[in-house]
Amino acid sequence: MGEVLVVLVLASLTALATGLGAVPFAFVSRISSAVEARANALAAGLMLGASFGLAAEGTHRGGWQTMAGAVGGVLFILLVHRLLDRHRFSFETAKSVPGEAAGGSAAAAKRALLVLIVMTAHSAAEGVAVGVGFGGGETLALAITVAIAVHNIPEGLAISAVLRSQGVSLVRCAGWSVFSSLPQPLLAVPAFLFVELFQATLPYGLGFAAGAMAFLVLQELLPEAYGNAPARAVSLFVTVSLVLMVLFQRSL
Amino acid sequence: MNPVAVAFLGSSAAALTASAGSLSLLFSQRLPGVAIGWANALASGFMLGAAYLLMSAGLGYSAWAGAAAALLAVASLHAVDRAGRSALVLHALHSAPEGLAIGGAVWLGFPFGIFMIAAIAIHNVFEAIALCGDLRDRGASVSRTAVLAAGSNSGQVAVATLSAALVWLFPFLLPWVLGAAVGSLAYLVMVDLLPRSYQEIGKTSISLVTLAAMAILVLLGIPG
């Protein structure tokens, strides 16, 4: 019971960290797309570093099982995206809904809703990562928790940027940002209990989280970053945060 | 065999295999964008997989030295890249990471060194497919593209041999060479290969191809 509580509290902290993305808007009215791109690149490096940590722990326990889990993680994200696409929800449409330039409030509200839905769908995989991270030991768990918490801040920044431009208050921006990450504590606990009860599934779970997170980086964060900042700036942010993330995991 | 000799012979063989990239032109005089995008995605996956394996192996030596070397390598390549995208700069950007990967890997055991050389050789072929497509568009003959593809990797041989020799003379440099290889491999993928891949085809297929190539390399390269 004590361990479950720890998982719940730490996974809740990662969700709360998303709210920090609203903080810059206490000082500035808007964030440029170039800054958002660099934030995405930073998040991409942290996520890749966390994926490396999960994959390393998984392959240590079983290479083929970890790879099978990674395939499952990629398929999970593809399935989520297919469901979102069916309802015309995607990362691109979330960033620019046609008609918004005309200043239509309905389009603006739709954009805010899209961003929220897409971010919420993403955080499901991150919740599983936190849960299985605890199954892999305290060191890995702490590293993954910190990585996802720090990575959540740029996600909160993206959500707050859209909401703030619609005149939503700072507190509500933070609140909706946290809301988008609620699947993290909600899925972290069952994921942890599952790998605890069925130890043999741990490498599959670690692979699932690693595959899902790496796929999100390649399919969404990087293209989004390349679209709004020079490749060399994106590369610098990704590689530096990746190296620091790996060093952090190693230093624990 | 001495690891320095393995690095020299292996990187030379890897550089020569790049000429196989021109064989693609025998089937199609002008490569479609999809083929170039996938070739770059496969090359990206192999480089990220190599970076992961070198990092996993190198962490056992000195994580702090490795991280410092990785950051120094990234800063150096970033500075070179900012100076301009001349042919020489692009050559340096590609040669250094791959050469360092071979130069460091040969000191992690003969089988791992050979595995890394084979991985870089395969990566060179995919990279050369994209390069040969560009050269053919500029009017180069197929045989000339083969020679240029192999020649473009000559820096790889020099860096691999030099870095392996440095570790031979100063063994404490091994984590620095491994760290520099990891940082520069990741930087090259992010600054050049992936952006070019995304330009050619959809991001979902690029992501899948990159991850599949990376997974295969990691799975084959992990010990046991």
Digit-coded pLDDT (tens) for A113-142: 666 676 676 778 888 888 888 887 888 888
The DSSP symbol for A23 reads G
CB contact under 8 A, B211 and A214: yes
Domain, as residue range, for B129:
3-25+33-221
Q: State the Cα angle at A155 between B44 and B82, rounded to 5°.
A: 45
| Two tokens, residue B54 | 């070198």
pLDDT, residue A151, reads: 83
Give CA separation, A233 vs A33, B74, B87, B111, B193, in Å.
Answer: 13, 11, 20, 37, 15
Length of chain A equals 252
The dihedral over CA atoms of A228, A230, A233, A238, expressed in degrees to the nearest 10, equals: 60
Q: Strand, coil or helix: what is B223?
A: coil
Q: From CA B208, how far away is CA B114, in angstroms rounded?
A: 27
Nearest-Cα distance to chain A for B224, in Å, is 9
pLDDT, residue A97, reads: 43
**Of the candidates B59, B78, B204, which has its C-beta nearest A219's C-beta?**
B204
Residue A19 has pLDDT above 70, yes or no: yes
Per-residue pLDDT tens over the stretch B61-111 = 888 899 999 999 999 988 888 876 665 566 666 778 889 999 999 998 888
Per-residue pLDDT tens over the stretch B166-181 = 999 999 999 999 999 9
Q: Residue A99 — pLDDT band, cuts 50, 70, 90?
A: very low
Per-residue pLDDT tens over the stretch B11-21 = 999 888 888 77
CB contact under 8 A, A231 and B63: no
Q: What is the mean pLDDT of residues A64-73?
A: 92
Amino acid present at B181: A
Q: Which phi-psi region, left, alpha or beta, contains residue A137 (left: φ > 0; alpha: ψ -120 to 50)? A: left
Q: From CA A4, how far away is CA B4, in angstroms rounded?
A: 52
Mutate to test the interface with B, among A74, A216, A243, A244 (most CBs of B within 10 A): A243
**What domain count does chain B have?**
1
Domain, as residue range, for A208:
2-251
CB contact under 8 A, B218 and A59: yes
Percent of chain A predicted with pLDDT > 70: 86
Q: From CA B117, how far away is CA B109, in angstroms rounded?
A: 12
Q: Count other Cβ atoms within 10 Å, centred on residue B193.
A: 26
Q: Residue A101 — pLDDT band, cuts 50, 70, 90?
A: very low
Amino acid present at A133: G
Residues of chain A contacting residue B67, judged by C-beta atoms under 8 Å apart:
243-244, 246-247
Amino acid present at B100: L
Within 8 A by CB and 6+ apart from A73, the residues are A125, A207, A208, A209, A210, A211, A212, A213, A215
pLDDT, residue A111, reads: 62
Percent of chain B predicted with pLDDT > 70: 92
Q: From CA A127, how far away is CA A148, in angstroms rounded?
A: 9
Within 8 A by CB and 6+ apart from B88, the residues are none
Q: Does B223 touch chain A (CB under 8 A)?
A: no
Q: Residue A98 — pLDDT band, cuts 50, 70, 90?
A: very low
Nearest-Cα distance to chain A for B204, in Å, is 6
Q: From CA B137, how far away is CA B131, in angstroms rounded?
A: 10
Using an 8 Å CB-CB cutoff, list residues of chain A that contact chain B. 52, 55-56, 59, 63-64, 67, 70, 74, 78, 211, 214-215, 218-220, 222-223, 226, 231-232, 234-236, 238-240, 242-244, 246-247, 250-251
Residues of chain B contacting residue A76, judged by C-beta atoms under 8 Å apart:
none
**What domain count does chain A have?**
1
Mutate to test the interface with A, among B61, B85, B90, B190 (most CBs of A within 10 A): B190
Q: What is the mean pLDDT of residues B150-158?
A: 85
pLDDT, residue A218, reads: 93
Give CA separation, A59 vs A137, A217, B19, B185, in Å.
Answer: 15, 20, 34, 22
Residues of chain A contacting residue B210, judged by C-beta atoms under 8 Å apart:
218
Q: Residue A214 — pLDDT band, cuts 50, 70, 90?
A: very high
Q: List helix spans (H) across A87-182.
A: 91-95, 105-135, 138-165, 170-180
**Of the candidates A59, A63, A215, which has its C-beta nearest B207's C-beta?**
A215
Q: Residue B36 — pLDDT band, cuts 50, 70, 90?
A: confident
- Does the complex come out with an ipTM higher than 0.95? no
Give CA separation, A156 vs A43, A148, A222, A229, in Å.
Answer: 11, 12, 17, 19
Within 8 A by CB and 6+ apart from A102, the residues are none
